[in-house]
Amino acid sequence: LGRPETRRIVLLLTDGKPNRMDETREILRLCSAAGLETVGLGIGVDVSGLFPVALRVDEVTALRTALFGAAERLLLAA
């Protein structure tokens, strides 16, 4: 939070759903309240119910393409 940049993005990669859903939602709410953009990328799991920007890949081999696509989309939205 101490960084001077106007946009701060947190990218979370996961291969599973949270064990503590309520706490996870609260952390994401706090991130949003602090001005952090959150992006979730699920590997073989749907994370769209948690993140305002959510991606899914079913194979690790698709990860590079998904990450570049996400970066491009986020940068163009600036």
Across the range 62-73, mean pLDDT stands at 88
In a domain, 3, yes or no: no
On the question of pLDDT at 4 being above 90, the answer is no
Contact status, residue 12 vs residue 41, Cβ threshold 8 Å: yes
In a domain, 1, yes or no: no
Q: Write the pLDDT tens digit of every residue in 28-64.
A: 999 999 999 999 999 999 999 999 989 999 998 999 9
What is this structure's pTM? 0.82
User: DSSP characters for 5-69?
Assistant: -S-EEEEEEESS--S-HHHHHHHHHHHHHTTEEEEEEEESS--TTT-SEEEEESSGGGHHHHHHH
Number of domains in the chain: 1
Structural domain boundaries enclosing 28: 8-77
